[in-house]
Structure 1
């Protein structure tokens, strides 16, 4: 009986150790995602330069202050991973939407392209990504563009190609400028919206309204379709090789 009890106790102890080991494995597997989630929020609030890796680790509940280095190698590598997570998600959703429309012979109007550009951003699971990208692009533009694999920004280029078909009244240089305006407009408006909705201290009825989003999309379409009234000298200036050239877009736009 004593031997049976002893064996039973050892078996139970082994089961406990296995469960603890599995729990540790699950915790280690979840740690990088938690670190990215916390870092994204902090970067959106304070900027990349305003947050230390120790602050990120502590906010993510990591006892080891070197957790960022352990899981990502460096702060810069963590930033790059966050940029790419959003870029991959946006590119995937936009390409899927474009594929569906093109199979049906579309898109047939600027508004359909606007929806494809905007809706995936609204559907991002983290509310801080747009604000992070806007701030990051302002302070570390070269680093952001270097972090982006062009293969994961193909859908935006497809959207621009479709938009050009609907803007034959504009020469290429003016089309390019409209796309620059569009990118700045999308980033600024959606960043302001996300920043407001992330504030739980009070209601933000304007930013939470479906009507606001609809108005935003309509105004973006109007920006793209608006007629132009510029003098020949102005048009010639914009048409110079060093003016009106669109920069590579951020993941948002």
Structure 2
């Protein structure tokens, strides 16, 4: 083997840079998976970067900081990992219903983009429980919500829901957006846990979970409004 070959590449002909890139990518993926599971099980605040590194099989306890930065950056990276495929599903669903004036159509896009994603991941999954933990943590709730609202398709859904309920006061729209978000994420988290642990649940598939959620969220949005003095 020539000196140039030793410097430029490996004995198998693959460039050293390519091997290093693949190794770094695999390490990042291992860290993301470990962090998502630990955050889902214990909460974001309770888990340290060192614990994540150990769970990811990294001997260097600073691996999380090296590859992602702060814990906030790690939370955002997990959210982004899932947001891309969910956004793809949501964009397709929104395009299919067009300018629908049926509230159930818009709620269906919101719910099924998440449940179909979870279904595609297989069992067990951790994302719904991770998202529920992040939403319940004051340090990360605003970050997760703000990043999610950057989705053009999600904004179309919010606008579509609002158009279907033109007489609903904006204060109530804001309030029910919060209610619907929490109902969606925490219900999915509960079913995700039941599916993963094999415990009894009133529904046995993500498509069935979606149907129940759509019914409930439509009912939430169309509930009467009682004004108190």
> What is the TM-score with the length of structure 1 in the denominator?
0.72
Residue 30 of structure 1: aligned partner: 26
Determine the C-alpha separation between the residues in 2 that align with 1:212 and 1:29: 34
Compared CA separation, residues 17 and 53, structure 1 to 2 (3 A): farther
Range moving further from structure 2, 30-39 or 130-139: 130-139
What is the match of residue 62 of structure 1?
Answer: 58
CA distance in 1, matches of 2:219, 2:181: 14
Higher alpha-carbon Rg: 1
Q: How far apart, in 1, do the equivalents of 2:100 and 2:87 lie?
A: 17
Counterpart position of 1:107: 100
Question: Matched residue pairs, number?
Answer: 217
Is the alpha carbon distance of 1:137 and 1:15 closer, same or farther for their aligned partners in structure 2, counting shifts above 3 Å? Answer: closer
Match of 1:167 in 2: 165
Contact 2:35–2:52 (8 Å) recurs in 1: yes
Change (3 A) 1:65 1:160: same
Specify the alignment match of 2:215 in structure 1: 218
Distance of 1:28 and 1:164 partners within structure 2: 44
RMSD: 3.0
Residues 15 and 160 of structure 1: CA distance in aligned 2, closer, same or farther (over 3 Å)? closer
Q: Deviations over 1:68-90 (max 9, x none)?
A: 12211233321222233333443
Displaced runs of 4 or more, over 6 A: none
- Asked if 1:120 corresponds to 2:113, the answer is yes
The equivalences for 1:20-169 within 5 A come to: 21=16, 25-102=21-98, 106-122=99-115, 123-124=117-118, 125=121, 127-141=125-139, 143-146=140-143, 148-149=146-147, 152-169=150-167
Give deviations 1:105-154, integer Å, cap 9, x for gaps: x323111111110112111438222211221222235x442364477333
8 Å Cα contact 1:57-1:66 kept in structure 2: yes
Q: Which moved more, 1:88-97 or 1:179-188?
A: 88-97
Please say if residues 36 and 82 of structure 1, whose CA atoms lie closer than 8 Å, have aligned partners that are also in contact. Answer: yes
1:184 alignment counterpart: 182
